[in-house]
Amino acid sequence: MNYGHQTVLAVRYIGQGFMITLSHANRLPVTIQYPYEKLITLECFRGRIHFEFDKCIACEVCVRVCPIDLPIVDWKFETDIRKKRLLNYNIDFRICIFCGNWVEYCPTNCLSMTEEYGLSTYDCHELNCNQIALGRLPMSVIDDYTIRTILNSIQRKTQ
Amino acid sequence: MEPHHPSMHGVLRLIVTLDGEDVVDCEPILATMFTEAITVNGPEQLGNIQVPKRASYIRVIMLELSRITSHLLWLGPFMADIGAQTPFFYIFRERELVYDLFEAATGMRMMHNYFRIGGVAVDLPYGWLDKCLDFCDYFLTGIVEYQKLITRNPIFLERVEGIGVIGGEEAINWGLSGPMLRASGIKWDIQKVDHYECYDEFD
């Protein structure tokens, strides 16, 4: 191909590429302004763990199912009523990988995963949660009136 | 060795022995990324556990979506290394859609934890297939866009055409598999040959 022909082809293809860039001006934005607008996560989202102290029977299945044996279950066998009594239950969120394995295996359904995902703190030891901290209800994004929630949907982005 | 190799920065580590400026010896250390399908297929074949057809198809869909995302993620830094910064953002737009699909089915955007021995963890939610088909339609238009931007672009062609050609014989000698082997002209799809999941029934 001679040089002139090459130049014409080059201009044509670069022009085509540039039209795509220009067509972006006609589209809706894909990004969201995170601290002020948040996405609503789905119900099955594997966020922070929620633990119900009263339902736990201290069977330690959660420890066995966990790939890193993370939960620390502190129980004592009460000989007079012949049952286990749960003293303390601890999870270290610095190490938890949020796999969600144990939700399937807990026999009394005392474990579930909430929609919270922003767990960063200034002091990492705050993430070592005991049963009272784990029993907190999650901060729902929809109820928070300072944050504008964006519904996650494919239609919005494909327009 | 990182900036010179086209894999995503950080995946491949090469220990290189230098002699002045020439590379004398090279030892690759691969951080191999196994998909969950391999860890699950092993015990299934050992224990002769039958996987239901539907679960097998669901697994195939998930694997293919993961493959699309990982190829997209290869494309981004590849174009960035060549010099075009915008495809890097475009791939994340497509990946976000796939993340939403994964989140609906499995609960987490990237680390799914979805495959179990004998099938999958939970069934797909009600409208998932329709969303997936919508994504496929959208992705076709996305690919057309990428083609317009990249495939004929003279800058891209100048930098890429004719470099690193591997012939068919050489590819087999070196033990390549996958897209590189197919690009060298040999028809070999390991998924069909090895009876992996139920890829046999696809065209």
Judged by CB atoms closer than 8 Å, whether chains meet at B121 and A104 is answered as yes
- Amino acid at residue number A25: A
In 3D space, the residue among B109, B114, B79, B85 whose CA is nearest the CA of residue B96 turns out to be B109
- The reported pLDDT for the residue numbered B15 is 52
Q: DSSP for A61-121?
A: HHHHHSTT---EEEEEEETTTTEEEEEEEEEETTT-----HHHHH-TT--EEE-S------
- The reported pLDDT for the residue numbered A22 is 85
Residue B13 scores a pLDDT above 50: no
- The pTM of this model reads 0.74
| Option in B86, B93, B107 nearest A100 (CB) | B107
Q: Residue B86: its chain A contacts at CB < 8 A? A: 21
How distant is the Cα of B151 from the closest Cα of chain A, in angstroms?
9
- The reported pLDDT for the residue numbered B8 is 41
How distant is the Cα of A123 from the closest Cα of chain B, in angstroms?
26
- The reported pLDDT for the residue numbered B9 is 43
In 3D space, the residue among A66, A34, A71 whose CA is nearest the CA of residue A149 turns out to be A34
Q: DSSP for A131-143?
A: HHHHTSPP--TTT
Per the prediction, chain B carries an average pLDDT of 71
Joined tokens for residue B57: 């198809």
Phi, psi of A136 (to 5 degrees): -65, 140
> How do residues A68-77 score in pLDDT, each as one tens digit?
888 888 888 8
Question: B153 versus B166: which is more confidently predicted?
Answer: B153
Mean pLDDT within A123-128: 85
- B2 at A interface, C-beta within 8 A: no
| Option in A19, A41, A99 nearest B113 (CB) | A99
Question: A87 versus B27: which is more confidently predicted?
Answer: A87
> How do residues B101-115 score in pLDDT, each as one tens digit?
888 888 888 777 788
Put simply, the chain B residues between 81 and 110 with a CB less than 8 A from any chain A CB are: 86, 93, 96-97, 100, 103-104, 106-108
- B159 at A interface, C-beta within 8 A: no
pLDDT confidence band for B174 (50 / 70 / 90): low
- Please give the residue of chain A at the shortest CA–CA distance from B133: A154
Mean pLDDT within B154-183: 65
Question: B48 versus A95: which is more confidently predicted?
Answer: A95
- Please give the residue of chain A at the shortest CA–CA distance from B125: A44
The ipTM, to two decimals, is: 0.76
> How do residues A27-67 score in pLDDT, each as one tens digit?
877 788 888 888 888 888 888 888 888 888 888 888 888 88
How distant is the Cα of B41 from the closest Cα of chain A, in angstroms?
19
B194: helix, strand or coil: coil
Q: Which residues contact A64 (CB under 8 A, 6 or more apart)?
A: none
Residues B91 and A26: their CA atoms lie apart, in Å, by: 19
Mean pLDDT within A129-157: 75
> Pairing relation of β-strands A37-39 and A148-150?
parallel
- The reported pLDDT for the residue numbered B189 is 57
- Type and span of the H or E element at A38: strand A37-39
In 3D space, the residue among A128, A137, A112, A121 whose CA is nearest the CA of residue A45 turns out to be A112
B114 and B103 Cβ atoms separated by less than 8 Å: no
Mean pLDDT check: name the lowest of A102-116, B20-34, B153-167: B20-34
| Option in B86, B108, B134 nearest A154 (CB) | B134
Residues B65 and B9: their CA atoms lie apart, in Å, by: 22
- The reported pLDDT for the residue numbered B183 is 62
- The reported pLDDT for the residue numbered A52 is 87
